[in-house]
Structure 1
Amino acid sequence: MALKIINQDVYKLDKFDGSNFTRLKDKMCFMLTVLNVIFVLDSKLEPIREPSDKDMDKIVAHRRKHEEDELVCRGHILGTLSDRLYDMYTHIQSPKEIWETLEHKYTTEKRGTNKFLMFKYYEFTMFDNKPILDQVHELLVLVSKFRELKIVIPDPMIVEAIMAKLPQAWNNYRKKLLHMVEDISLEDF
């Protein structure tokens, strides 16, 4: 049996500890696609039919390949899990079942945390004692999380939010920007 194992130096996934399932999902799907085993996770995958005398060898070979692909897929999914999560899911033999369980748990959990994302955005405050660029970066990370939810905030609104959240020491700069005739782009800001 010749198993497909991806070169770990070329593409190594970080250990998944339960945070940022979206990132794991994207990377895992890419890796399993490269290995040509992503089909194992397809919910529409039909079971292999029982062989007849006519096509016995073909069906047996197909079944053997499918079992090898499931083993590779299961190994790579389990291999990316932290030790704690590995211990929780190692008893499940089906890679599809492991994946669906992870997807259900961490997608549901993510929906709960997304409720507070908008609140964090509105309540975000900048302070004089922290570098402004670091604080702008924090705000832009929040905005990028909105994009994951398919909520797009236009750049002019992001610039205006940054201006509104500038600390008191930046009032003169804020007034100068507000009185400009043309809109300033996010990159220029």
Structure 2
Amino acid sequence: MSSRSLIHVPTAPATPAHGEKPPKLSGADFKRWQQKMLFYLTTLSLSRFLKEDSPVIAADDNDSQRRSAVDAWNHNDFLCRNYILNGLDDTLYSVYYSVKTAKDLWDSLEKKYKTEDAGVKKFVVGKFLDFKMVDNKSVINQVQEIQIINHDLLAEGMDINEPFQVAAIIEKLSPMWKDFKNYLKHKRKELKLEDLIVRLHIEEDS
């Protein structure tokens, strides 16, 4: 019998005063769904079962207290697992309903979607690196496109500070802006993003 099996397990989770049930996961926005589900399970006093392995008891162990503790653990793990399953849409439910414990289910979902998140991050970084301004489109509109990509990078947990954004926009100016680009390079340390956009706007209008 492992030491963790001797820890007292409540026979029923505490009833929360409040707690909003998260929307069903369809495959998008996994990180947001995961955070909401974690909070929801915490209000139900079930989040510990996302990390604990099932306690093991010998078949010939007749200690009633240990057996009661294991039964209670299994009951609460069953509840936790089904709260997670009911947070999945029907398609994902069909894929994951056979997973035996809450921990295995949580780990399986995290492994699948964190791998996909890494692919999304790689795609956004590639989109940023490949972006080049062209002469036949408004510079300001193209700056807005870069800002949208920057927002996506931030959403993926990448630290994109303001000086980097300023330097990146200057570097991506089209060849037609060569002279103004060289001028801005000497000024970039003192330029804020808003100041840069104003200067580009004025230059484009003139």
Q: Give the TM-score of the pair, scaled to structure 1.
A: 0.69
> Structure 1 or 2: larger helix share?
2
Query: For residue 18 of structure 1, what is the aligned residue in structure 2?
Result: 27
| Matched residue count | 182
Give 1:1-189 correspondences, 5 Å limit.
10-42=19-51, 45=53, 47-50=55-58, 56=64, 58-124=65-131, 128=138, 135=145, 137-147=147-157, 151-165=158-172, 180=187, 183-186=190-193
Deviations 1:100-120 (A, max 9, x none): 222222223333343333211
Tell me the secondary structure at the aligned position of residue 106 of structure 2.
Answer: helix
Task: Report the Cα distance in structure 2 between the residues aligned to 1:178 and 1:130, rounded to whole angstroms.
Answer: 18
Task: Report the Cα distance in structure 1 between the residues aligned to 2:99 and 2:130, rounded to whole angstroms.
Answer: 43
Task: Report the Cα distance in structure 2 between the residues aligned to 1:129 and 1:153, rounded to whole angstroms.
Answer: 21
Larger Rg: 2
Note the residue ranges of structure 1 that are not aligned, 5 or more in a row. Answer: none
Instruction: Tell me by how many angstroms 1:37 deviates.
Output: 1.4
**In 2, are the aligned partners of 1:124 and 1:139 still within 8 Å (CA)?**
no
Query: Which AA in structure 2 matches 1:110?
Result: D
Task: Report the Cα distance in structure 1 between the residues aligned to 2:93 and 2:172, rounded to whole angstroms.
Answer: 43
Instruction: Tell me by how many angstroms 1:187 deviates.
Output: 6.8
Q: Give the TM-score of the pair, scaled to structure 2.
A: 0.64
What's the Cα RMSD here?
3.9
**In 1, are the aligned partners of 2:41 and 2:47 still within 8 Å (CA)?**
yes
**In 2, are the aligned partners of 1:156 and 1:185 still within 8 Å (CA)?**
yes
Deviations 1:129-164 (A, max 9, x none): 9967853551232321452xxx43332011222444
